[in-house]
Structure 1
Amino acid sequence: MRAVARCCGGHWPPGAAAADGMLWQTELRPHAAGEFSMAAAQANLIMEDQAQVLASPAATLVAVYDGHGGPDASRFLRSSLFPHVQRFAKEQGGMSTDAIRLAIGAAEEEFLREVRQAWPKRPRVAAVGSCCLLGAISGDTLYVANLGDSRAVLGRRVVGAGGVAVAERLSTDHNVASEEVRHEVAAQNPDDEQIVVHTRGAWRIKGIIQVSRSIGDFYLKNQEFSMDPLFRQVGPVVALKRPALSAEPQIQVRKLKPTDQFLIFASDGLWEHLSDNDAVQIVFKNPRTGIANRLVRAALKEATKRREVSLNDLKTIERGVRRHFHDDISVVVVYLDRHRGRRQTRVVDSSMNCTSSPVDIYSSSVQSVQPRTDYRDSG
């Protein structure tokens, strides 16, 4: 568990911040079945995305948390989800869908307790939530659990087609922009004609939020918050007959094959600008080192095209204002070498193989360039 504590307590290893102070990456590191690369870009005033990888001989855990309404829920998941996963996997005798479902349920309950404790002084915390994308590689089995619209995509080589890779989506976007998801939500609420409405240019649950599953967002799950006079000072009144959002993860299980090349886990900040196939081709056709950062920059390039500015111009735009150009972006690329017949990458010391993106990229970047105050001039 010390590896998890190290991972959840801060970003390790430090990684590298970009020149504009809003990008971060870890170029390439080992995990039990291959290598992985991570990168992130901050757009919000306070970073709401979080991402982490725990590489151990028993399993590789990958997570992307895309917060909304504030950073509280995604930061909570960063510190709490992996310990829950490891605990339930141990109790269940190994990684399984039950262990993952129990871990996510325990995280939701733990966050609810924290919200209730903070609620009297910070009622707005009841409106904070996060999407949650979790991947677990155990032996030759891949588990992908998802709540919200972060996404996992597999890059798979086509047999007999030479140097060709295709994209295979491994998660469902729980976003009412999808007609299928709108029908699902409506079917769960047959007596509520206003459960999904089109407002402010998009379909939204109760006219407020686009994702249908999340951790947190308790004011849309429990009337003890939404109808309380304390919350009504800071948020809209939401009459609920039942929870409007779900915390039930959708879990996919896949036996990895030799043709499975790599996985891309990313928040919707990436997928708003790159298609599944675009992302897979970038990874497939480029060197491994810094590949996650290459994906982030490709997304930023597309974002600036839409607003008719250059990447250099984007570097001059302050956090917060950047949100008008792109969302926070978190990306993890995981190579599956062992399952392709390549030599296995050995993770020798599991306590030293946990990597998390910075809690806030801008703050980390500012701290890294502060002048030293412990230097004494001997002259």
Structure 2
Amino acid sequence: MSEVKKVVLAYSGGLDTSVIAKWLQDQYQCEVVTFTADIGQGEEVEPARAKAHALGIKEVFIEDLREEFARDFVFPMFRANAVYEGEYLLGTSIARPLIAKRLVEIAEATGADAISHGATGKGNDQVRFELGAYGLKPDVKVIAPWREWDLLSREKLMAYVDEHNIPVEQKKGNKSPYSMDANLLHISYEGNSLEDPWTEAEAEMWRWSVSPEQAPDQATELVLTYKNGDITEIDGKPMSPATVMEYLNKVGGENGIGRADLVENRYVGMKSRGCYETPAGTIMLKAHRAMESITLDREAAHLKDELMPRYAKLIYNGYWWSPEREMLQAMIDISQKHVEGKVRLKLYKGNVIISGRASDKSLFDEKIATFDDDGGAYDQKDAEGFIKLNALRLRLGAKQK
């Protein structure tokens, strides 16, 4: 402990990280630097500054990382159509490598000896933060208080708060009983009644979306413009990556888009039940696949689909900064060279309905695909030899049987 003179803490300003800030000062007798990131969680981050100063912290970093998060992390991930275990759109997972990156950069800029986070020893986030940090700074020292201290209950945390006069805002009234995490891509809910997989999530829990049953009876139509696999315009209006996501979250939530209730397999070995709202991500996934359907070669598209589960697993498990993820990303990005054009879709009562797609780089040839006379563009007699050659091994196998 005596080797640590200064530590950079990922600080939200909430109960846990406020306790951690004080605990680090006491246990390690070190200076604490706080880092608070705005990645679109929808809550004001500036109050964290006053809370940090009240804890005696002199160096306080508060940064708006929404554009970097959307541009350099979310958009590249959606070029891959990444989904973990068939359902999870990786909302929490994709935010951790950016936070790890800034923790390391701030540690280097301030001369800190270590970084620290508030993730528990049961979850995925401890793995993601630390793998990300080690991938960027091999000799970094990481302090994870939840794996060291004995404050393992809310009662002990509150007792520590009282004992050390830690300034923590005591929220009352509409405070959610769930453990929640939010950013531009999603909001997640865990704990409380959700720990029973049979118990239905309470209607009052959802924050970003109306239920599909309560969504408008009239569909909302959008036209998304793509360039190199990324959305650049909505309804003809140029938008930055973060603005795209903010707008799609709004209209998606209004139409009941993006709710998910699932049990996932955590990297540490246990199963966990969580609920998610991912309006923008749900729309982006469906629309991107529609854009690829006319602009991406068949075998390239199929290869992407085969590799996607591996890519998604790498992100879920915290390997964003790994060489294998970077290799896959390079392949994915090359595949997006001609993924451009427009996708028209409707949002209606929880559904994303594709109603049209068009591109100057389209591989769809109406002359060949038509059921009418194609004027000789496709010789149907060629299909006979194609079928017989592909059937050869099946016919030989049948004779053997």
TM-based fold match above 0.5:
no
Task: Give the TM-score band, short-chain normalised.
Answer: under 0.3
Larger relative contact order (C-alpha < 8 A, sep ≥ 6)? 1
Query: Which is richer in strand?
Result: 1
TM-score, scaled relative to structure 2: 0.23
Query: Which is richer in helix?
Result: 2
TM-score, scaled relative to structure 1: 0.24
